[in-house]
Each structure stands twice: as structure tokens, then as C-alpha cells.
Amino acid sequence: MTKRASLIIKHFEKLGIYLNEEEEKKLKDTCLVNVGEYTCWVVNFFNNNPKFCVNKNWFQADSRQKPSINPRALDGPSNFEIYLIPFEEKLYFLHYIELREYAFKLEKNRDDWFNETWWTAEINSETDEFKWFGNEKYFPLKLFSLENLRKLPDVDDKELTEDKKYSSSTVVRRIRDTKVSKEIKVMYNYTCQICQESLKLDDVNYYAEAHHLKPLGGEHEGPDVKENIICVCPNHHVLLDNFALPLDLEKMDVHPDHNLSLEFINYNNKKVQETKRVKSDR
């Protein structure tokens, strides 16, 4: 495990990416590392049996789950977005959405494969491609670089448009964050702006949720901008999603760099009033 991590560190340094002590330790202990906004996981490619971790839930309609590694073997959450694949002298990477597409294109013994968590692959480093073991069709692998990472499709945007199809009567819980949502959570250090609570997952990870005051989907059509987003704990998120919590800017924690819009605070408060009225009419 350490050997793999050291190799990644060497590859990174060649690309001008330097990890601090804490990040290096995390990589060595768990084979997970954050690059930019992505959590990356190092694939075991040091024997002749290279394996990709495949999430079975991907093959159910509408599933958006990220792949995860056996949590018992690791500390803390182990979901990741990018596969880092050191192979011979090269470092490849693969976004999980791409991998999911390729997994659907498996030609042989599909049913058998779908029961496995790990899918074995064969890499051709001359053509920079891989195929699933025993299958014939090759899929492209990209060389890891910050530039190539930036070119990744914006999964969040794509999913957002799809989320808009949900009916307005359903409260849609977005497990997956938009890019802006992530920035807000980082700005607040994963601390709830309403109660100042932050949930500790382990020594390094905290948990919070991002709430769009004027929701993105349905009848609301709110924008995905920082002015419309707040960082909250799960309890306050449920109340806000149900328009059950009026907000008072004065009583909230607002970061000086966060120009939270009064327009959206008022939108929430107006909806809270309307929701109350509907309930008392019954």
C-alpha cells in the first residue's frame, strides 16, 4: 500500500503537485488523496490483476452513487470520484462517471460481472486504453495532469438539469453537491450557519450540507449561486427544505466574503408564511 502511495507522490512531483504532511499520510494510510475538488483513489495496478471498484448500484436506473472502497479497511468515509492508475511509467486517471459508462458497455457475462464489486481490467500502455478482463472492447485512459482534470465534464451541472424534472411537490434531497455548494461548505468550515454545529466524522473530516434558499428545481427555479446558498447541519436542512424555519440574517453566522442575498432569505420567509397558512387552512 505504501509503495503505491510513494509512486503517486513521485508522479505528482513530476507534475508540480506537492502534498503536505497530512495529505501524504492520508494517501499512505488509505490510498485516498484530494486533488482540487476531487477525491482520488489509487487503483492497485502493481500486479497483473488490476482491479477497478465498481458500484453495483450504478446499474439501477437513476442511481448517482459514487464508488466506495470497503470501509472496514479504511478510516472514515471512502467515497471517491477519480481513479488514479499508476501503470509502468505512466499515471492515468478515470472519472467514475466515465467508468460507469464503460461498465455498461461490457460485452460478455454481464450478469456475472454485475454481481462483483471489483472488476479486473487489462491495460495497454502503448495505446493508453483498457478493456475488461475477458472482453474485447477497449476504452480510453487519460494521462493524469491538472489540465486534463480541468477538462472533465461537469457532472454536477448535468445532474442539476435532470433534477429539475422532479415534481415540485417532492422535496428533492441533493446528496451530490454542486461546485458552488462545495465552496460554501469550505468557506464555513462545515459549520452550520444557524446553530454553529459541525458534525465530526473523524479526525480530519467534518460533515455539513448546502441549502439553496430558493430551491433549484420545480416551481422555484432558484439559481445555483453563492448568494442563494447557505451551509447548514442536517437537522436545519430538513426544516429549511420543508419551509419550516424562518431566517433572520442578524442571528445567522455570515462570512464577510459571502454576500448572501436578502432576496433569497425573504423568499424562504415568504414560503414559510405560505406553508403555515396552508396548514392552518386544513
Residues that bind Zn ion (CB under 5 A): 192, 194-195, 233, 236
Q: Are 133 and 77 in contact (CB under 8 A)?
A: no
Closer by beta carbon to Zn ion, 143 or else 195: 195
- Cell numbers for 53, please give them: 471498484
What are the backbone angles phi and psi of residue 13, rounded to the nearest 5°? -60, -35
Considering the complex, what minimum distance in angstroms separates the CB of residue 242 from Zn ion? 15
Which of these, 136, 144, 232, lies nearest to 185 by C-alpha position? 232
User: CA 155, CA 186: separation in Å to the nearest integer?
Assistant: 19
CB of 252 to Zn ion, least distance (A): 10
Which residue lies nearer to Zn ion by CB, 69 or 239?
Answer: 239
Comparing CB distances to Zn ion, the nearer of 198 and 266 is 198
* Shortest Å, Cβ 244 to Zn ion: 13
Task: Select from 34, 46, 37 the least CA-distant residue to 7.
Answer: 46
d(CA 24, CA 88): 22
What is the Cα–Cα distance from 1 to 84, expressed in whole angstroms?
14
Strand partners, 192: none
CB nearer to Zn ion: pick between 100 and 211: 211
Rounded CA separation 186/72 (Å)? 27
98: nearest Cα among 52, 51, 29, 167: 52
Q: Give the residue with the Cβ less far from Zn ion, 171 or 195.
A: 195
Q: Of 236 and 271, which has the nearer Cβ to Zn ion?
A: 236
Nearer to Zn ion, 82 or 194 (CB): 194
Q: How far apart are CA 232 and CA 49, in angstroms?
A: 43
In angstroms, the CA 216 to CA 223 distance is 6
The torsion angles phi and psi of 114, rounded to 5 degrees, stand at: -65, -15
Residue 232 CB, shortest distance to Zn ion, in Å, is 5
